[in-house]
Chain A
């Protein structure tokens, strides 16, 4: 807040100076250097509050956890001092950690690829139809605006073994009850399903916006030349939409990698550790076992993995945009 006040003062002063120089009507060559000077620092000044706050919530905690990652903690969460690289070797030899990485990556790849495929199909179906598109867009906004936690609560009710509507429907057509959240592969599939429900609409909307911005000519030319629908999509739509599809891919991947809320509500990582994402494992080791050292070391490794993935994705986005 202090920064904010300072900045406001500086703006006022500048405004004041501006007025003053206007009244004096100083010769142009006198006015110019002053302006250049104030312009030189102004951009940085305007950025200062944002960068300061960002440093407080990102860089500062990361440095803090770097320190913590070299310390041991007892079962009450009290620091017991410097333990060197013990935490890192513990993390890297921990089966749960590698399992969580596997679960997170598999979850991300499955749900994001299905979401993009479905979103792409749906967008291609409504792109021509103005009315249908409007209504659908109006309806499809809802899931992605909801809190993932609330969505997970609703699905927890629907997937319930005894009184869930899905099991009721299965029974009414003569199938046995299924304990969706109690079996490893089903619990994992349920998480993917919930993610698709919530985020497929977002892929749809992004791709639809891209489709509507495409020029019509290539499509008309291809139709005149007798190209089939499949050929049009394969050889015209997909290449032209590639930059937009990659934007959707990047944004969805970033979010899917951090999945936590749904796991918290639906499975608590279980049964066993079959649905334990990285975020959930870190939560469990920090809050349940108060092993902050272990968690911080794990977070550092996660941070490095995330940086690698984001760099790759951003590079992908930049090259595709440069071409497109």
Chain B
């Protein structure tokens, strides 16, 4: 017995060392690009293009952010407008998604339609999520052009709300399915209608689910690039990813400003995602795996 214990202990030591090396390695692997982005945005022009790269900048500067001429927050810079546009588009489409999607999710979670229809509809909604956006974006571009909606936030709201709905419906459906049906039944016995018991009993209970779903919807919209690039073409309408992509050609060598823009653009996403951490896995798998 003691011999057995010894071998286990010896084997454990080797694997523990290997484990920690692997863990530290993967942490460095993940964090280094982010660190590099942030410090590049804080380096002076001289240090950026110096022959010897520095891992810890000798001198920190905010010039890429706040310089009145070249900074991304300078009055002539389009960056603040990108940020505002992203905010408008993501928040409005998130609210639309939740309001429209919640009823659909509730319907799919609760009602048994004949011929297994609710499962078929769920599947149909899921296939919409699987559709590659490129299949839709080119005809969408032509349609929006004919409707005169190119380069408007209306076009973005329609597209983003529609495209995020499958995600919202699937995720909320998983949350609704966890609420015991008896709660609504007892409310209905007390005389409340189906919808009243939904609004008064069920909605407050899935509030955490709503928060998580809304944050994931925000992040999806905030990061979306392809639709924004196709449907928006003036800098005062562009969202952040589309705007930053124009910076790449415009400031090919101005890495300070480019990384500063990248850094600012990820801050809201970081804040959102830490709030919804607990629901992360569920969000990434649309409720297929409980996290």
* Contact (Cβ within 8 A) A147 B225: yes
B263–chain A nearest beta-carbon distance, Å: 9
* Contact (Cβ within 8 A) B277 A141: yes
A307–chain B nearest beta-carbon distance, Å: 8
B69–chain A nearest beta-carbon distance, Å: 22
B259–chain A nearest beta-carbon distance, Å: 7
Which of A9-17, A86-94, A177-185, A214-222 is near enough to bind chain B? A9-17
Q: A18-B192, A206-B285 given as contacts; is B108 within 8 A of A149 (CB)?
A: no
Task: Please measure, in the bound complex, the distance between the C-alpha atom of A244 and the C-alpha atom of B285, giving whole angstroms.
Answer: 10
- A residues 49-67 near B (Cβ < 8 Å) are 49-51, 53-54, 56-58, 60-62, 64-65
- B residues 138-163 near A (Cβ < 8 Å) are 138-143, 158-159, 161-163
Tell me if A26 is interfacial: C-beta within 8 Å of chain B: no
Tell me if B219 is interfacial: C-beta within 8 Å of chain A: yes
Task: Please measure, in the bound complex, the distance between the C-alpha atom of A42 and the C-alpha atom of B196, giving whole angstroms.
Answer: 13
* Contact (Cβ within 8 A) A306 B226: no
B150–chain A nearest beta-carbon distance, Å: 13
Q: Which residues of B contact A85 (CB under 8 A)?
A: none
Tell me if A261 is interfacial: C-beta within 8 Å of chain B: yes
* Contact (Cβ within 8 A) A279 B291: no
* Contact (Cβ within 8 A) B136 A50: no
* Contact (Cβ within 8 A) A53 B270: no
Task: Please measure, in the bound complex, the distance between the C-alpha atom of A302 and the C-alpha atom of B134, giving whole angstroms.
Answer: 9
- Chain A interface mostly helix, strand, loop or mixed? helix
Task: Please measure, in the bound complex, the distance between the C-alpha atom of A179 and the C-alpha atom of B103, giving whole angstroms.
Answer: 53
Tell me if A269 is interfacial: C-beta within 8 Å of chain B: no
Q: A50-B103, A57-B136 given as contacts; is B277 within 8 A of A310 (CB)?
A: no
- B residues 107-122 near A (Cβ < 8 Å) are 107-108, 110-111, 113, 118, 121
Task: Please measure, in the bound complex, the distance between the C-alpha atom of A282 and the C-alpha atom of B280, giving whole angstroms.
Answer: 33
Q: Which residues of A contact B30 (CB under 8 A)?
A: 139-140, 142-143, 197, 201
Task: Please measure, in the bound complex, the distance between the C-alpha atom of A310 and the C-alpha atom of B166, giving whole angstroms.
Answer: 15
- Chain B interface mostly helix, strand, loop or mixed? helix
- A residues 293-312 near B (Cβ < 8 Å) are 295-296, 299, 302-303, 306-307, 310
Tell me if A209 is interfacial: C-beta within 8 Å of chain B: yes
* Contact (Cβ within 8 A) A153 B53: no
- A residues 255-278 near B (Cβ < 8 Å) are 257-258, 260-261, 264-265, 278
Which of B34-42, B177-185, B201-209 is near enough to bind chain A? B34-42
Binding site for A on B (CB under 8 A): 11, 15, 19, 22-23, 26-27, 29-31, 33-34, 36-37, 40, 48-49, 52-53, 99-101, 103-104, 106-108, 110-111, 113, 118, 121, 123, 125-136, 138-143, 158-159, 161-163, 165-166, 169, 191-196, 219, 222-226, 229-230, 240-241, 244-245, 248, 255, 258-259, 262, 265-266, 269-270, 272-274, 277, 280-281, 284-285, 288-291
Given A4-B99, A38-B194, A47-B104, 13 more pairs with CB closer than 8 A: A19-B191, A46-B103, A57-B140, A118-B26, A121-B22, A125-B22, A136-B26, A145-B219, A151-B33, A156-B248, A197-B29, A295-B138, A299-B139
What would be 10 A-B contacts, judged by CB atoms less than 8 Å apart? A14-B194, A14-B195, A46-B104, A61-B140, A142-B273, A153-B262, A201-B30, A260-B134, A260-B225, A295-B138
